[in-house]
Amino acid sequence: MVITKDVHAKEARLPSGKTKVKISAGAGLYMVINSSGKYWRYAYSYCGKRKESSLGVYRLGSEKHLSLKLARSKAQAVKDQLDVGIDPNQTIKDKKLANKTSDAEKKRQVEEDHKQVIAESRTFKVVGLLWFEKKKAEWVESHTKKQIGRLERHLFPTIGDIPIAKITKLQVSETIEAISRMGSNDLAHRMAQVTRSILNYACNKGFIEAVPMGDMSQVLTEREQTKMPAIIEPARIGELMRAIYSYQGSFVVCQALKLFPLLAARTGEFRTAEWIEFDLDAELWTIPAAHRKLKKKLKENPENVQLVPLSRQSIALLKELHAVTGAGRLAFPSIRGDSRPMSENTINTALHAMGFKGEMVGHGVRAMFSTLMNNKDYNPDAIERQLSHAESNIVRGKYNRGEYMSARTKIMQDWADYIDTLRKGAKVIPIKRKA
pLDDT per residue over 188-234, tens digit each? 999 999 999 999 999 999 999 999 998 998 888 887 766 778 999 99
Task: List, in sequence order, the alpha helices (H) in 122-184.
Answer: 124-135, 141-150, 156-159, 169-181
CB 428 within 8 A of CB 402: no
Task: List, in sequence order, the alpha helices (H) in 207-282.
Answer: 234-246, 251-263, 267-271
pLDDT of 74 higher than 60? yes
Q: How far apart are CA 111 and CA 109, in angstroms?
A: 5
Q: Quick one: pLDDT at residue 395?
A: 39
Q: Which helix (H) or strand (E) holds 287?
A: strand 284-287
Q: Quick one: pLDDT at residue 65?
A: 86
Query: What value, to the nearest 5°, has the Cα angle with vertex 166 and ends 161 and 170?
Result: 90
Where are the chain's structural domains? 6-86, 124-218, 234-423
Q: Which helix (H) or strand (E) holds 78?
A: helix 68-83
DSSP secondary structure letters along 53-74: EEEEEE-TTSTTB--HHHHHHH
Q: Which helix (H) or strand (E) holds 395?
A: helix 394-401
Q: In the CATH hierarchy, which fold is given to the domain comprising 6-86?
A: Double Stranded RNA Binding Domain (3.30.160)
pLDDT of 418 higher than 70? yes
For residues 345-354, give the mean pLDDT: 93
**3-state SS, residue 123:** strand
Name the DSSP class of 137: G
φ, ψ at 321 (rounded to 5°): -70, -40
Q: Quick one: pLDDT at residue 403?
A: 59
pLDDT tens sequence across 83-92: 777 777 776 6
Q: Quick one: pLDDT at residue 63?
A: 78
Name the DSSP class of 223: P
Question: How far is the CA of 8 from the CAs of 39, 352, 355, in angstroms?
Answer: 14, 115, 120
CA 169 to chain centre: 21
Buried/exposed code over 266-284 (b: 16+ C-beta within 10 A; e: otherwise): bbbbbbbbebebbeeeebe
Buried/exposed code over 349-375 (b: 16+ C-beta within 10 A; e: otherwise): ebbeebebeeebbbbbbbbbbbebbee
CATH class for domain 234-423?
A: mainly alpha
φ, ψ at 223 (rounded to 5°): -70, 140
**Nearest in space to 127 (alpha carbons), one of 212, 243, 227:** 212
pLDDT tier, 415 (very low <50, low <70, confident <90, very high otherwise): very high
Which residues, listed in sequence order, are joined to residue 333 by a DSSP beta bridge? 341
Q: How far apart are CA 184 and CA 167, in angstroms?
A: 24
Q: Extract long-range pairs of 375-379: CB within 8 Å, 24+ residues apart.
A: 375/431, 375/432, 375/433, 375/434, 376/414, 376/431, 377/434, 378/407, 378/411, 378/414, 379/404, 379/407
Q: Quick one: pLDDT at residue 80?
A: 83
CB 226 within 8 A of CB 233: no
pLDDT of 96 higher than 80? no
Q: How far apart are CA 131 and CA 44, in angstroms?
A: 69
Comparing 85-99, 129-143, 287-301, which segment has the lowest mean pLDDT? 85-99
**Nearest in space to 208 (alpha carbons), one of 155, 170, 164:** 164
Return the top range by mean pLDDT from 270-279, 339-348, 384-393: 270-279
The structure's pTM equals 0.58
Q: Quick one: pLDDT at residue 289?
A: 87
- Higher confidence at residue 62 or residue 143? 143
pLDDT tens sequence across 25-67: 888 889 988 888 888 888 888 777 888 888 888 888 777 788 8
Measure CA of the first residue to CA of the last residue in the chain; give whole Å: 127
Q: How far apart are CA 242 and CA 247, in angstroms?
A: 9
pLDDT of 116 higher than 90? no
Which residues, listed in sequence order, are joined to residue 49 by a DSSP beta bridge? 46
For residues 10-20, give the mean pLDDT: 86
Percent of the chain's residues with pLDDT above 70: 88
CATH of 124-218 given 3.30.70.120, 1.10.150.130, 3.20.20.70, 1.10.287.3610: 1.10.150.130
CB 317 within 8 A of CB 255: yes
